[in-house]
Amino acid sequence: MIAAVPWYEFAMSGNTEVTLLSIDGVIARAGGKATKFLRRAIASDETAALALAREGLRRMPEARRHWPRPERGQPKGLRTWGQPKGLRSGQEEELILPALLLASGKTFAEVELELELPRGGGSTVTTPRVEVVPTERLVTRTFVFAAQEEREAHRREGELVGEFIAYLDEERGLACARLALPLERSKLYNDIFVESRNQLIEAKGSARRQDVRMAIGQLADYGFQIKSDERFEAAPRPAILLPEKPTQAILDLLDDLEIAAIWRTEEGFTDNRRGTFT
């Protein structure tokens, strides 16, 4: 049961939404990224979200030991609010997204991969480090907001596809379609096919590495199916459509795989192929 006194409050610090927390006598603040994570959790199940935030605060010391403050910084607006108003009182502690992810059951390695953090100790990884590990792994706990998060991702993806199709139509006069690729008992549909340019585009609702990796796999599957189709004299040029510019590490990965990146800008869309996709 949720306590009668609210344990959280959303507020603005400049242009960034933050979360003010009061849990078990601890006054804390979560920055922009952690606030987005908490919003999804609270919208799905406030009781589970409270448990998650409580565990996140407990995991903060080890999170800071693993990722020292110079690398991550404090939540925006920490200890800049006036005294006192509701939750805004006393010396505030911090709650960062890596601690919340650890609280959700992810390992340190999984957090680093998801957020593209440097390895523990704040040192930057300059060369690849591949490890051979045992097959036994901790089973990551799944919170009840996972399904809602997936639905939200599909909604964002659909909106992004619609925006890009409208952009190509209005700004470039290009018509878009989709490919229906036959499978054993069904068909596989890609997101966008620009036939006049022979471009095959897969969209994702976020620029996170795990989403980009999924798009890479989908494009590889489409390409495999297209190889045996006589209609295509040349394989379509692949690209991934994203809502924002991905990290340089992801751009390097896509370059190595000869996959273009397209992302939304204030003016419309751009790509890393000198505008050949936009």
Question: Could you tell me if residue 120 is inside a domain?
Answer: no
- Statement: residue 147 has pLDDT above 80: no
Q: At 229, is the pLDDT very low, low, confident or very high (cuts 50, 70, 90)?
A: confident
Question: Could you tell me if residue 18 is inside a domain?
Answer: yes
**Same domain, residue pair 222 and 177:** yes
Rg over CA atoms, the chain: 22
**Same domain, residue pair 171 and 253:** yes
Domain count, the chain: 2
CA atoms within 13 A of residue 264's CA, in its CB half-sphere: 20
Q: Comparing 144 with 16, which gets the higher pLDDT?
A: 16
Distances (CA, A) of 107 to 53, 110, 112: 17, 5, 9
Q: At 231, is the pLDDT very low, low, confident or very high (cuts 50, 70, 90)?
A: confident
**pLDDT score at 5:** 60
Question: Could you tell me if residue 187 is inside a domain?
Answer: yes
Question: Could you tell me if residue 243 is inside a domain?
Answer: yes
**Same domain, residue pair 184 and 251:** yes
Q: Comparing 69 with 261, which gets the higher pLDDT?
A: 261
- The rounded distance, in Å, linking the Cα atoms of 103 and 52 is 6
Question: Could you tell me if residue 68 is inside a domain?
Answer: yes
Question: Could you tell me if residue 140 is inside a domain?
Answer: no
**pLDDT score at 13:** 81
**pLDDT score at 145:** 54
**pLDDT score at 156:** 86
- Statement: residue 140 has pLDDT above 80: no
Q: Check which CATH number belongs to the domain holding 264 and give it.
A: 3.40.1350.10
Q: Where are the alpha helices (DSSP H) in 104-181?
A: 108-115, 146-167
- The rounded distance, in Å, linking the Cα atoms of 107 and 103 is 9
- Amino acid identity for residue 195 in this structure: E
**Same domain, residue pair 191 and 238:** yes
**Same domain, residue pair 59 and 168:** no
Domain ranges, residue 222: 150-271
Question: Could you tell me if residue 133 is inside a domain?
Answer: no
0.85 cut: is pTM over it?
A: no
**Same domain, residue pair 102 and 167:** no
- Statement: residue 228 has pLDDT above 90: no
- Give the containing element (helix H, strand E) for 46: helix 46-66
Can you tell me the mean pLDDT for 229-244? 91
**Same domain, residue pair 163 and 243:** yes
Question: Could you tell me if residue 62 is inside a domain?
Answer: yes
Can you tell me the mean pLDDT for 207-231? 90
Smallest CA-to-CA distance from 127 within 118, 136, 138, 140 is with 118
**Same domain, residue pair 55 and 101:** yes
